[in-house]
């Protein structure tokens, strides 16, 4: 069976706007607050056209914390799934205390997606805006692309690339493909 390549994407801050409070990012709390970032649709279309599976891997601990209902997060995910032609969402609704394998920085969600879709992790990328995203990608064996927003929190160690947005991340990925030909 042929192996696929994927671009794993964090949701908040990568696909849609994250809301800053005291320099830290927070997810939208309803579909009406969900705002797709500029260039995202075009970037994902370019990646899809280049043969990548598009899989969103997102931590949504506010469900476990009781701040938002699971159905509200699913409504936002379904909207993005259809609007942006994403292949799948892998959503972790747990908090750190649950010690699950699907909550980034653990790579469980990426590994599960790799098995389900026959994805070659070392030929794939994880794109995120927080250290947990980058560490999850590294733990899974992916190349990593960090979108740097200068949040007031821990920064990731040694991402493959650091960029300003998903458009730049897409340029790095597609540029690397050209270089390998």
**What are the backbone angles phi and psi of residue 159, rounded to the nearest 5°?**
-65, 155
**108 contacts 116 by C-beta, under 8 angstroms:** no
Residue 87: both structure tokens together: 């292949």
Pairing outcome for strands 161-163 and 88-92: unpaired
Number of neighbours of residue 52 by Cβ within 10 angstroms: 24
Instruction: List % helix, strand, coil for the chain (3-state, nearest 5).
Output: 40, 25, 40
Any idea which residues carry the catalytic annotation? 10, 12
Reported as type and span, the H/E element at residue 42 is helix 40-49
Q: How far apart are CA 129 and CA 57, in angstroms?
A: 12
The residue ranges of DSSP E strands in the chain, in sequence order, are 5-9, 19-21, 24-26, 52-59, 88-92, 125-128, 143-147, 161-163
């Amino acid at each position: 069976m042929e192996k696929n390549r994927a671009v794993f994407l964090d949701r908040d801050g990568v696909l849609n706007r994250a809301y800053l409070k005291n320099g830290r990012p927070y997810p939208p709390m309803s579909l009406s607050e969900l705002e797709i970032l500029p260039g995202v649709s075009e970037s994902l279309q370019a990646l899809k056209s280049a043969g990548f599976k598009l899989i969103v891997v997102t931590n949504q601990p506010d469900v476990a914390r009781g701040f938002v209902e699971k159905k509200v997060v699913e409504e936002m995910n379904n909207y993005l799934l259809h609007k942006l032609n994403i292949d799948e969402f892998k959503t972790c609704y747990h908090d750190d205390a649950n010690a699950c394998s699907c909550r980034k920085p653990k790579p469980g969600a990426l590994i599960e997606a790799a098995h389900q879709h026959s994805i070659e992790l070392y030929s794939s990328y994880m794109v995120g805006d927080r250290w947990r995203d980058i560490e999850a990608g590294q733990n899974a064996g992916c190349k990593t692309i960090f979108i740097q927003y200068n949040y007031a929190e821990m920064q990731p160690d040694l991402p493959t690339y650091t960029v300003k947005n998903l458009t730049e991340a897409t340029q790095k990925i597609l540029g690397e493909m050209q270089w390998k030909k």
